[in-house]
Amino acid sequence: MNGERPAKVRAVVDHDLCAGVAQCVQIAPGAFRLGQDGLAVAAVSGPFTDQEVAEAADSCPMSAIAVLPEDG
């Protein structure tokens, strides 16, 4: 964060795979939160970088996060 460029990617969480482990929230709290159902929700925009989103997706034990280009 600290003045880094805004993310040019977006994350999509597959709720059929997400188990609410919240690893993504710990790694990229600006990009993910847990919804009322206990599953991860990806932010459309916020204080996060491409690298944080990618790291959160890579660390998901359920492989429930896809990282896509912002316009895709």
pLDDT at 27: 97
23-60 confidence digits (pLDDT tens): 999 999 999 999 999 999 999 888 899 999 999 999 99
Residues 40-45: contacts with CB under 8 Å, at least 24 apart = 40/13, 40/64, 40/65, 41/13, 42/10, 42/11, 42/12, 42/13, 44/10, 45/6, 45/7
Number of folded domains that form the chain:
1
- Report residue 1's pLDDT band, with 50, 70 and 90 as the boundaries: very low
Structural domain that includes position 56: 9-67
- Is the pLDDT score of 3 beyond 70? no
Residue 2 within any structural domain of the chain = no
Residue 13 within any structural domain of the chain = yes
- Is the pLDDT score of 66 beyond 60? yes
What burial class does residue 41 get, using C-beta atoms within 10 Å of its C-beta: 0-12 exposed, 13-18 middle, 19+ buried? middle
Q: List phi, psi (to 5°) of 42.
A: -90, 140
CATH of the domain at 39: 3.30.70.20
